[in-house]
Amino acid sequence: MQVKISKTQVDRLSAGQMLADKEVKGFVARRLNSGAVSYGFRYRDKSTGKQRWLGLGLHGSITPDEARDLAKKAAGEVADKKDPQAELQDSRAEAKREKLVAANTVNVVLDAFEKDHVDGLRSGDQVKAAFTNHVRPRIGDKSIYDLKRSDIITMLNEIKAESGPVMADRVLAHVRKAFNWQMVQDDEFKSPIVRGMAKTKPKERARKRTLADDEIRDVWAALEQIEQPACYPRYVKSLLLAMTRRNESARMHTDEFDGDLWIIPGARSKNKQDHVIPLTPAIRGLVGEKPAGCNGNSWFVFSTTHGAKPFSGFSKAKKELDRVVAKIRKAEGRAPMKQWQLHDLRRTGRSLMSRAKVDADHAERCMGHVIGGVRETYDRYEYLEEKRKAFEALAGLVELILNPPANNVIQIAGAAK
């Protein structure tokens, strides 16, 4: 039946009946078996000659006049040799992509990657810190589908200028893993990271940096000038005097003390085995007293939360330390200090033990390394006395470096064999 489609006419329709509008050719209304009335536009695709159907909406959510206006628009597109159904599909596909893009920013992907892959890793805090300090502020709000290689290169160049090429490559490795993880479960995503983006060569990434005597004095002098965080000076000194890795010291807890021993659990050591460090006077002096406001009888030694949580503000505090060191050297007319990392203190401690004539095997044990060969069976309580003497020798040499004799000749004291 061909009439002007109106509400009155639509309400009279029985299931299966259809009305054709006499004003707009192709505009129809039909009552479905479900009882709902659907508005549509029938037309013939001029490029293929096939008849097509374009749904305009259901009666109730759209009025007959609104449906007629949509039909007129579609008729105009057909007259211009366009296919309104194909354009609607393209529009829906674009809307779907926009929704997908909005739901998959770099921040969203990193959040999911951390939850699925990073949480629980020994190095998890370092990975999260790399994302928080270097990735999220730069590309976090971007959609992963809009990322370009140039975005990654720009980010890496900024990190290199700010924190050095080694840090840039470390961040690149973490982001590459996160993007590869996303590609496994996302058909639409292709990582923009390709070979050749690294800022250093493999040989350059194998660090050999140790601090010279004057650099040790500069770092210690700068630590005395840093006011916040209060625990940071003690923490940094522990990395040299105990030759620990960053998180080994950062998560030092009084529950790990057994008399005059500090037992670093295997879950926090690189070789997955407990590492025992004698609490020499120098190391014990860094522990300090129970922090004010601490709730309980045990606490994290290096903390900004009254012992409740371990210290974690590494990047911000290191920048402040570098700033003060640069200020000291500039005031004295000396060249800027070569770029260095906290881990270099561990390597420096090992070098100083050699200067103090500490037996090489004992020095390696002080670092938590397992000596192979016939002694590869691990006993965390072995060689405690030798390790104690080695750490005391290290502390004695550091003290001489910080306070050299008047003739500037450093004597080696407290050597351990």
CATH number at residue 306: 1.10.443.10
Last residue of a domain, which of 205, 230, 252? 205
pLDDT-derived band at 125 (thresholds 50, 70, 90) equals confident
Residues 217 and 194 in one domain: no
pLDDT at 89 over 90: no
Residues 186 and 272 in one domain: no
pLDDT-derived band at 378 (thresholds 50, 70, 90) equals low
- Mean pLDDT for 251-259 is 94
Mean pLDDT, the chain, as a whole number?
86
What does 108-129 look like in DSSP terms, one character per residue? HHHHHHIIIIITT-TTHHHHHH
Query: Does residue 85 contact residue 56 with C-beta atoms inside 8 Å?
Result: no
Residues 78 and 125 in one domain: no
Query: Does residue 368 contact residue 271 with C-beta atoms inside 8 Å?
Result: yes
pLDDT at 417 over 50: no
305 found inside a domain = yes
409 found inside a domain = no
Query: Which of the two residues, 97 and 343, has the higher pLDDT score?
Result: 343
Q: Ranked by mean pLDDT, which of 55-69, 370-384, 396-410 comes out on top?
A: 55-69
Query: Does residue 85 contact residue 74 with C-beta atoms inside 8 Å?
Result: no
Residues 347 and 276 in one domain: yes
pLDDT at 414 over 70: no
Count how many domains the chain has.
3
In angstroms, rounded to a whole number, what is the distance separating the alpha carbons of residues 295 and 308?
A: 8
Residues 186 and 224 in one domain: no
pLDDT at 157 over 80: yes
197 found inside a domain = yes
Residues 76 and 110 in one domain: no
Residues 307 and 221 in one domain: yes
pLDDT at position 103, please? 65
412 found inside a domain = no
In angstroms, rounded to a whole number, what is the distance separating the alpha carbons of residues 191 and 337?
A: 37
Residues 313-337 have pLDDT tens digits of 888 899 999 999 999 999 999 999 9
H or E element that contains 318: helix 314-331
The tokens for 386 are: 């030798």
pLDDT at 252 over 90: yes
pLDDT at 129 over 80: yes
Phi, psi of 300 (to 5 degrees): -75, 130
Residues 153 and 184 in one domain: yes
By residue range, what is the domain housing residue 288?
A: 213-402
Last residue of a domain, which of 205, 222, 245? 205
Residues 143 and 65 in one domain: no
264 found inside a domain = yes
Residues 340-362 have pLDDT tens digits of 999 999 999 999 999 999 999 99
pLDDT-derived band at 208 (thresholds 50, 70, 90) equals confident
Query: Does residue 343 contact residue 236 with C-beta atoms inside 8 Å?
Result: no
Query: Does residue 110 contact residue 174 with C-beta atoms inside 8 Å?
Result: no
In angstroms, rounded to a whole number, what is the distance separating the alpha carbons of residues 376 and 379?
A: 9
- Mean pLDDT for 353-381 is 78
Strand segments, DSSP code E, in 4-64 are 18-21, 27-31, 37-44, 51-58
The alpha carbon dihedral of 34, 38, 41, 47 has a sign of negative
Query: Which of the two residues, 221 and 41, has the higher pLDDT score?
Result: 221
Q: Which of helix, strand or coil describes residue 257?
A: strand
Q: What is the identity of the amino acid at 231? A: C
Residues 368 and 242 in one domain: yes
Percent of the chain with pLDDT over 70: 87
The tokens for 360 are: 């090489």
Alpha-carbon separation of residue 55 from 38, 52, 65, 163 (angstroms): 8, 10, 15, 58
pLDDT-derived band at 187 (thresholds 50, 70, 90) equals confident
Last residue of a domain, which of 152, 170, 205? 205
Residues 224 and 251 in one domain: yes
pLDDT at position 179, please? 94
Query: Does residue 308 contact residue 290 with C-beta atoms inside 8 Å?
Result: no
Q: How buried is 142 (Cβ within 10 angstroms: 0-12 exposed, 13-18 middle, 19+ buried)?
A: middle
414 found inside a domain = no
Residues 245 and 371 in one domain: yes
Query: Which of the two residues, 103 and 215, has the higher pLDDT score?
Result: 215
pLDDT at 97 over 70: no
Query: Does residue 302 contact residue 312 with C-beta atoms inside 8 Å?
Result: no
- Mean pLDDT for 193-213 is 82
64 found inside a domain = yes
pLDDT at position 211, please? 95
The tokens for 65 are: 């006049």
Residue 32 belongs to a domain with what CATH number?
3.30.160.390
Residues 31-66 have pLDDT tens digits of 988 888 989 888 887 667 778 878 888 888 889 999
The tokens for 39 are: 């508005």
Neighbours of 283 (CB within 10 A): 23
- Mean pLDDT for 366-377 is 66
Neighbours of 143 (CB within 10 A): 19
pLDDT-derived band at 248 (thresholds 50, 70, 90) equals very high
